[in-house]
Amino acid sequence: MAKIKTTFFCQNCGAQFPKWVGKCNSCNEWNTIVEEVIQREEKTSWKQAGSGKKVGKAVKLKEITAVNEERIDTCNKELNRVLGGGLVKGSIVLLGGEPGIGKSTLLLQIALMMKNRVLYVSGEESMTQIKLRADRLKSANENCLILTETKTHQIFNSAEETSPEVIVIDSIQTLHTELIEASPGSISQIRETTAELIKYAKETDTPVVLIGHITKEGHIAGPKILEHMVDVVLQFEGDRNHTYRILRAQKNRFGSTAELGIYEMLHTGLREVENPSEILISEKDSDLTGTAISATLEGMRPLMIEVQALVSTAVYGMPQRSCTGYNIKRLNMLLAVLEKRAGFKLGAKDVFLNIAGGLRVEDPAIDLAVVCAVLSSNSEISIPQNICFAAEVGLAGEIRAISRVEQRIQEAEKLGFKKIVLSKFNKIAKKNPEIEIIKVSKIEEVISVLFKV
């Protein structure tokens, strides 16, 4: 007979404990340990466990025939780009993001656009609420079926009757299986319901898309094994106060994790942004001080973004340093380089930095644009609109080379920039480009070129 045993899990990170404790030693959260019932089968030897079962045969690697995965078109170019070409049959995709960021809107919009039959299962909203959202999206798909259910066996019964080609679960935290005794959203239920969905997807070759909640730290809620079990983990990012959303792949067994998709949130749903560079660069009538354009890369996608800086005399005793969309520690380092290597006294001044469009950039190639924007605001000298920057700044004040510089040059050319400032250590394969390339090696050379100092 199987033994019934209880154990203790952390609801925040999924860590397991033999007894109840007040603080989780893994994530340092308080009062997140709950007791759950787990079922352990009677231990048997490996010989007894394998008796009477078909044994898999090991084969040589060269004898395995490689086949291309058959993919389903989602009718959404940005999602197809992130997935690597579409939904692979039998795959499990997990989508996470902040509450209200647009996860349900994105998947319902795709379900209404796809030509395949889609079963949209919602455990959080009623059919009337889904109908109102579908009317707002102004999309209609006769093949889209709506089911409001939380029990897995009822979902599988409905899927057997309707034979959908894609299943969307909103969300995995609301599902419940009768195989174990635990409340919906608990560690055991999330793990067991996901395992049932994976088994169904693999047996029927039906892709399943799951929506997952996240914790206050931004990680997907539930056990960490949830991310290991699924095939693709997508993260939907953005600020609810801005209109743009970014879709990233944190894990992808069928494609690259370097791609990203960009959407614009409108009252009629999410609009695909095919050329984000034109949107991320604000249009202005005249040259303004404190702005610089950087050629950056988000994954494999080149983007031209606008860096805005404001330098003013500190009114209070302690000067302020504030960043939006950029690492504050990186900004402090660049300010120290300017003061030590270039002689600019910024220690008694407030410095505010903003990445236009609500994006968050981690690319080190944006360093030079940040430096030039700060210097432009400090000296009240505007930078010409037809020049952009792409280089990393080192602690010694040197201008360092960056990766995939040809892609950045092509993006700058396409948007009509006349000059681009790069490190002289970058090797450019293309000869005689249409854009003028200014090569510098030290921060002093950049200052003399731009500000004629």
Indicate the Cα dihedral angle 132, 134, 135, 139, nearest 10°: 180
Q: Which residue has the tokens 């520690």?
A: 329
Q: Which residues partner with 145 through β-bridges?
A: 119
Please classify residue 364 by burial: count the beta carbons closer than 10 Å to its beta carbon, then call 0-12 exposed, 13-18 middle and 19+ buried: middle
Nearest of 164, 371, 359 to residue 244 by alpha carbon: 359
- Of the two residues 37 and 370, the one the predictor is more confident about is 370
CATH number of the 70-274 domain: 3.40.50.300
Q: Exposed/middle/buried for 162, CB within 10 Å: 0-12, 13-18, 19+? A: middle
* pTM, rounded to two decimals: 0.77
Give CA separation, 49 vs 44, 45, 54, 55, 230, in Å. 6, 6, 11, 11, 26
The domains of the chain are located at: 3-42, 70-274, 278-451
Average pLDDT over every residue of 243-272: 88
**101 labeled binding residue:** yes
Was 91 annotated as part of a binding site?
no
Neighbours of 382 (CB within 10 A): 16
Instruction: Consult the annotation and say whether 104 binds a ligand.
Output: yes
Looking at domain 278-451, its CATH class is alpha beta
Give the distance, in angstroms, between the CA of residue 171 and the centroid of all CA atoms in the same chain: 18
97 marked as binding residue = yes
Between CA 47 and CA 93 the distance in angstroms is: 36
Give the whole-angstrom CA distance, residue 130 versus residue 160: 23
Exposure of 27 by Cβ count < 10 A (0-12 exposed, 13-18 middle, 19+ buried)? middle
- Of 7-21, 47-61, 105-119, 403-417, the range with the lowest mean pLDDT is 47-61
Element (H, E) at 351: strand 349-355
Amino acid in the structure at residue 135: D
Sheet of 33-40: strands edge to edge? Answer: 16-17, 3-10, 33-40
Contact criterion met (CB below 8 Å) for 335 and 309? no
pLDDT band at 1, cuts 50/70/90? very low
Nearest-5° angle of CA 164, CA 166, CA 170? 110
Do β-strands 260-266 and 166-170 pair in parallel, antiparallel, or remain unpaired?
Answer: unpaired
Among the listed ranges 356-365, 424-433, 443-452, which one has the minimum average pLDDT value? Answer: 424-433
* Residue 207 annotated as binding site: no
Can you read off the two tokens belonging to residue 76? Answer: 């959404």
Ligand-binding site membership of 376 (annotated): no
pLDDT digits (tens, 9 = 90+) for 101-136: 899 999 999 999 998 999 999 998 999 999 999 988
